[in-house]
């Protein structure tokens, strides 16, 4: 039994070590992919330049595949790990999600947070803002890559793509620019879902901040009330002591006055 527990701990430590080792390579791979994909779409590459960009993208894809397979193999409960890391699978299956690995860099900002609650909210907001910026840029590239060669296209340059992605993720949807291809509509659906999720994250974070502020005010109010009750109790005790002392003096005076005539 002890041997089995030790082996399970060894597996967990090995997986954590692997993840630590691959953290920087995955971030670099995501950055390289984003640069290569942006270059390919914006410059509308062809010939050997396009082949080079595709090779670079394929290499980054291999890095993510290797990481996913190794993590799955090192997991103690593989099915449990699989169900809890569906995003990693999507990163492998859908290359467009790979740039989101760059969000690992923003976790360095957490050292600026002092309180636990503030640290959590700061992390959530940082991830929300960072993912939104990346998603708008990548969605703009993807919709341009998809729609540029379509008949009656309304998206012919990166500016149009970024504008469409921005109004879509914010759920505004002016309708001045919209995709005409089936793949473009699939991309649009994903951006819409991401926009709704972003709105939910921001709303939940704001609600958490309000709840904490109210709780803090209530706690301060309770502390003030307890302090006031303590002070009042002390004052009543002092007043009681004064009254007792005064009653004792009055009794002594009364006793002396009675002894005087008798004497």
User: Hey, where are the domains in the chain?
Assistant: 1-102, 113-224
Give the pLDDT score at 56: 92
Asked if 145 and 193 count as a contact pair (C-beta separation under 8 A), the reply is no
Q: Which residue has the higher pLDDT, 228 or 124?
A: 228
Residue 159's nearest CA partner among 41, 45, 36 is 41
- In the predicted structure, residue 203 carries a pLDDT above the cut 70: yes
Asked if 128 and 169 count as a contact pair (C-beta separation under 8 A), the reply is no
Read off the pLDDT band of 162 (50, 70, 90).
very high
- In the predicted structure, residue 51 carries a pLDDT above the cut 90: yes
Q: Which residue has the higher pLDDT, 35 or 128?
A: 35
Give the pLDDT score at 55: 93
Give the pLDDT score at 64: 86
Asked if 33 and 99 count as a contact pair (C-beta separation under 8 A), the reply is yes
Q: What percent of the chain has pLDDT over 70?
A: 73
- Percentages helix, strand, coil for the chain, rounded to the nearest 5? 85, 0, 15
In this prediction, residues 126-133 reach a mean pLDDT of: 75
Taking the C-alpha atoms of residue 236 and residue 232, their distance in angstroms, rounded to an integer, is: 6
Residue 94: which region, alpha, beta or left (left: phi > 0; alpha: psi -120 to 50)? beta
- In the predicted structure, residue 52 carries a pLDDT above the cut 90: yes
- In the predicted structure, residue 5 carries a pLDDT above the cut 60: no
Read off the pLDDT band of 187 (50, 70, 90).
confident
Report the top-level CATH class of 113-224. Answer: mainly alpha
Range among 65-69, 115-119, 127-131, 174-178 rated most confident: 65-69
In this prediction, residues 1-30 reach a mean pLDDT of: 74
- Per-residue pLDDT tens for 97-127? 656 555 555 444 444 444 445 555 556 667 6
Give the pLDDT score at 8: 59
Task: Tokens for 109, please give them.
Answer: 């900002």
State pTM to two decimals: 0.65
Asked if 127 and 119 count as a contact pair (C-beta separation under 8 A), the reply is no
Read off the pLDDT band of 251 (50, 70, 90).
low
């Amino acid at each position: 039994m002890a041997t089995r527990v030790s082996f399970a701990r060894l597996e967990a430590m090995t997986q954590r070590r692997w993840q630590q080792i691959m953290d920087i390579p995955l971030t670099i791979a995501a950055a390289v992919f984003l640069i290569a994909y942006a270059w390919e779409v914006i410059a509308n590459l062809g010939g050997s330049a396009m082949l080079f960009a595709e090779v670079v993208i394929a290499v980054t894809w291999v890095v993510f595949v290797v990481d996913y397979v190794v993590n799955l193999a090192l997991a103690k409960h593989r099915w449990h790990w699989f169900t809890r890391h569906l995003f990693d699978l999507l990163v492998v299956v859908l290359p467009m999600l790979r740039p989101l690995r760059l969000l690992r860099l923003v976790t360095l900002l957490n050292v600026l947070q002092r309180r636990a609650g503030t640290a959590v909210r700061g992390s959530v907001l940082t991830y929300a803002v960072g993912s939104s910026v990346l998603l708008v840029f990548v969605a703009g590239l993807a919709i341009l890559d998809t729609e540029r060669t379509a008949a009656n296209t309304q998206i012919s340059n990166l500016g149009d793509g970024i504008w469409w992605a921005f109004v879509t993720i914010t759920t505004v949807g002016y309708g001045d620019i919209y995709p005409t291809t089936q793949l473009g509509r699939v991309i649009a659906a994903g951006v819409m879902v991401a926009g709704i999720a972003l709105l939910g994250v921001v709303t939940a974070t704001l609600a958490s901040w309000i709840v904490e502020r109210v709780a803090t005010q209530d706690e301060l109010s309770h502390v003030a009330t307890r302090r006031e009750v303590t002070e009042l109790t002390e004052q009543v005790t002092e007043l009681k002591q004064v009254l007792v002392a005064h009653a004792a003096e009055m009794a002594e005076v009364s006793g002396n006055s009675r002894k005087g005539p008798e004497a």
